[in-house]
Amino acid sequence: MVNSRFDLHDRVVIITGAGAGIGKVYAAELARAGARVVVADIEQEAANAVAEVINGNGGKAVAARADVTSESHMAHMADVAMHAFGRIDALVNNAALMSTLARRPWHEIPVDEWDRVMQVNLRGMFLACRAVYPQMKKQQSGSIVNISSSRVFEGTPNRLHYTTSKAGVVGFTRALAREVGPDSIRVNCIAPGLTLSETQVKSSKPEYLAETAKGRAIARPQMPDDLIGTLMYLVSDASVYLTGQTINVDGGKAMH
């Protein structure tokens, strides 16, 4: 028998950027654990495809077209969750600009690209949280999981805008946890190492990916499945008294 603290059965979880990459894996695995999933993605067809696979495998999922930089899209995303499932138990802020960004010195980053990264990676998270907050407050419960990056702890070069935005995710997590704690809403953060998701593999040179295991205590490449246990813990009641924290999941490369 599963300890009830870890039971995700019928828990309603919204995942942004769930149409591809790690978000797609998050959606499939949480649904497999019994959660009801809102697959939110800027690409409607991709979101539909993921939801269809989940439902075809006996899970429960709905799709929502969701540009995280749009306040109206985020409101629609929350409405989809409420219409389909009647509550919102968790939000996973996974959507981000990363794999399409060229790796280059900081002084060669175009200003408009810098602004776009901040718009998606920080404004988007802010708007998503704003959209689900009224319902979580009404319920007096909820878990928000923000996705940062181990780059923040390593100071990884050549995508300065991305690293900076992910450092902002950590600060956002800590401050928001203070503000919504009185509503029994918890806010935590996962910082993955470089993960061999489908989008990362497509956007990176093989020799670069081959180097990723170096320096890790667990000396192998990181896969999307390596993040699932931590996410399930943060979404479940097993973490009911944990908030404002960042859990670094990178095989022991950066330790803090």
Whether the CB-CB separation of 126 and 90 falls below 8 Å is answered with no
Per the listing, tokens 């708007």 go with 127
What positions carry a catalytic annotation? Answer: 162
Q: What is the pLDDT of residue 204?
A: 63
Strand ranges (DSSP E) for 66-164? 90-93, 142-147
- Other C-beta atoms within 10 Å of 101: how many? 17
What is the DSSP track for 122-148?
Answer: IIHHHHHHHHHHHHHHHHT-EEEEEE-
- pTM assigned to the model: 0.95
C-alpha–C-alpha distance, residues 76 and 67, integer Å: 10
Q: What is the pLDDT of residue 188?
A: 98
Per the listing, tokens 């990676």 go with 121
227-232, long-range: CB < 8 A, 24+ apart: 227/22, 227/25, 227/26, 227/190, 227/192, 227/195, 228/25, 228/26, 228/29, 230/190, 231/26, 231/29, 231/30, 231/92, 231/145, 231/190, 232/6, 232/8, 232/29, 232/30, 232/33
Residue-by-residue pLDDT tens, the chain, 256 positions = 668 899 999 999 999 999 999 999 999 999 999 999 999 999 999 999 999 999 999 999 999 999 999 999 999 999 999 999 999 999 999 999 998 899 999 999 999 999 999 999 999 999 999 999 999 999 999 999 999 999 999 999 999 999 999 999 999 999 999 999 999 999 999 999 998 877 666 666 667 667 777 889 998 899 999 999 999 999 999 999 999 999 999 999 998 7
Q: What is the CA radius of gyration of the chain?
A: 17
Q: Identity (one letter) of the amino acid at 50?
A: V
Whether the CB-CB separation of 147 and 94 falls below 8 Å is answered with yes
Q: What is the pLDDT of residue 72?
A: 98
Domains delineated in the chain: 4-249 (3.40.50.720)
